[in-house]
């Protein structure tokens, strides 16, 4: 049974278990022990004010366990995956809580191959963390020590990552267009401005002034309507907006309409198919992707498979099926021929490249995507009991599934990164969609709400 790792590493309020000093140090020791003698680890972080102390304590734990540590400083999550693989590190570690509020933070771990760790490996590390905690002296567990020092930042790693991105999409150009980029006051702020300003166009950079507490605050991929409005006001051709650690991106078209991950997958899949590079004419999405995407793919002779939510699970299904493209509605897009993990900056460059080579606008490329009415309601919960153990909730879910079985979808799940239950209903009838969503959300709130 998992206790620490969710769908994207360990995540919690910084300073509270399991991101208290004692546990963070234990994570470092446990990871070093798991990696073995002589392990080398590269570390990065986003812009949260808790990042430096967590990184320092984690590095101390890694060193205590026998590993050496290098730092890339503030840098996007996918850059650490790239650097781990490129330089033969034993692992890459990112201190980030992605799209969560600034008070939260987290620890993401990549293997030396640049991929996120399999569940079985994470569970093994959890067991080792428990063993380390049992051995620790509780009396000094919350005190920093002289060894809790951040490794010196290797500034060259950011420049190397930018070079990798440009080499991954040769010939990409803004074609003298104007684009707006929203860095979410997060890790993208450290590299995105210099990346896009090298692409022969006008770049308007927003939300690139992190102060430790403004990450994701009314900006970034959680609020794509912000960059969409900026595109419209500035008369720009496109907008890109990233989440806190820049492993995903959302977009705005030339009319100021929000373009999510579903639409990006459609544009990119058709481009790959036209060039004979869409393996098996197959794309892997998740249970949250809209039925309208499935219909649009079908019109193009493309089959869509659905994986559980979480880019690591999308990648697992891609590996099974041999798919060359996959992703999530939330903007995690996977291009395994280019990178080992979702990368918002790489996705933005690839979308720009599709626009550049097609001679069309982003809006024109996805004009035929007609989404079914869909609503997602998030309910804060105090615990995550199995939904089938809650009779009132289970009955309402069954009723919704029965009514919508031929004309919609019902997906109720707990978030893997937050204390939330997500209620997603999709239906041809907007009235039925809202009625079922509100009833189920209300029942969950009555049983488990905070």
18 preceded by cis ω (within 30°)? yes
Are 212 and 235 a contacting pair, CB within 8 Å? Answer: no
DSSP 371: P
Question: Which residues fall within 8 angstroms of residue 330, CB to CB, at 6 or more apart?
Answer: 221, 248, 250, 260, 261, 288
**Rounded CA gap, 87 and 89, in Å?**
6
- Beta-ladder partners of 334: 326
**Rounded CA gap, 158 and 72, in Å?**
7
Residue of 96, 98, 190, 324 with catalytic role: 98
**Rounded CA gap, 263 and 242, in Å?**
16
Diameter of the chain measured on Cα atoms:
65
Residue 223 has φ and ψ, to the nearest 5°, of -130, 65
- For residue 273, give both structure tokens: 């198919």
Question: Which residues fall within 8 angstroms of residue 355, CB to CB, at 6 or more apart?
Answer: 238, 361, 362, 365
DSSP string, 88-107: T-SEEEEE--TTS-TTEEEE
What's CA 308's distance to the chain center, in Å? 14
**Rounded CA gap, 78 and 346, in Å?**
9
Residue 344 has φ and ψ, to the nearest 5°, of -60, -40
From the CB of residue 438, how many other CB atoms can be counted at a distance below 10 Å? 14
Indicate if 98 belongs to the active site: yes
**Radius of gyration, CA atoms only, the chain:** 22
Residues in the chain: 450
List, by residue number, the catalytic residues: 98
């Amino acid at each position: 049974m998992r206790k620490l790792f969710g769908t994207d590493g360990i995540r919690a309020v910084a300073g509270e278990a399991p991101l208290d000093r004692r546990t963070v140090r234990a994570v470092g020791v446990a990871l070093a022990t798991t990696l073995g003698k002589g392990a080398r680890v590269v570390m990065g972080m986003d812009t949260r004010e808790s990042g430096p102390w967590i990184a320092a304590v984690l590095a101390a734990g890694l060193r205590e366990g026998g590993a050496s540590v290098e730092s890339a400083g503030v840098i996007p999550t996918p850059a650490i995956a790239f650097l781990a693989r490129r330089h033969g590190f034993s692992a890459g570690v990112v201190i980030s809580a992605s799209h969560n509020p600034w008070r939260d933070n987290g620890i993401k771990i990549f293997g030396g191959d640049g991929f996120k760790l399999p569940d079985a490996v994470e569970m093994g590390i959890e067991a080792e963390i428990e063993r380390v905690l049992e051995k620790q002296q509780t009396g000094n567990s919350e005190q920093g020590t002289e060894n809790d020092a951040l490794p010196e930042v290797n500034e060259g790693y950011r420049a190397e990552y930018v070079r990798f991105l440009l080499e991954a999409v040769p010939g990409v150009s803004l074609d003298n267009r104007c684009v707006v980029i929203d860095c979410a006051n997060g890790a993208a702020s450290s590299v995105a401005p210099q990346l896009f300003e090298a692409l022969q166009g006008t770049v308007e950079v927003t939300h690139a002034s992190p102060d430790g507490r403004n990450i994701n605050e009314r900006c970034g991929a959680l609020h794509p309507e912000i960059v969409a409005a900026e595109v419209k006001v500035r008369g720009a051709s496109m907008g890109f907006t990233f989440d806190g650690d820049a492993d995903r991106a959302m977009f705005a078209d030339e009319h100021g309409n929000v373009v999510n991950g579903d639409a990006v997958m459609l544009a990119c899949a058709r481009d790959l198919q036209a060039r004979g590079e869409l393996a098996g004419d197959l794309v892997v999405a998740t249970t949250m992707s809209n039925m309208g995407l499935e219909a649009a793919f079908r019109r193009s002779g493309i089959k869509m498979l659905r994986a559980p939510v979480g880019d690591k699970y999308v990648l697992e299904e891609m590996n099974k099926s041999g798919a060359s493209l996959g992703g999530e509605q939330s903007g995690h897009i996977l291009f395994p021929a280019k990178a080992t993990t979702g990368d918002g900056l790489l996705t933005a460059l690839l979308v720009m490249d599709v626009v550049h080579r097609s001679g069309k606008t982003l809006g024109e490329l996805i004009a035929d995507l007609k989404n079914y009415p869909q609503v997602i309601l998030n309910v804060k919960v105090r615990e995550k009991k199995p939904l089938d153990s809650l009779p009132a909730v289970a009955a309402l879910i069954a009723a919704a599934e029965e009514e919508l079985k031929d004309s919609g979808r019902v997906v109720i799940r707990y978030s893997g990164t937050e204390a939330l239950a997500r209620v997603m209903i999709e239906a041809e009838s907007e009235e039925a969609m809202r009625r079922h969503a509100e009833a189920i959300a209300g029942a969950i709130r009555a049983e488990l709400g905070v």
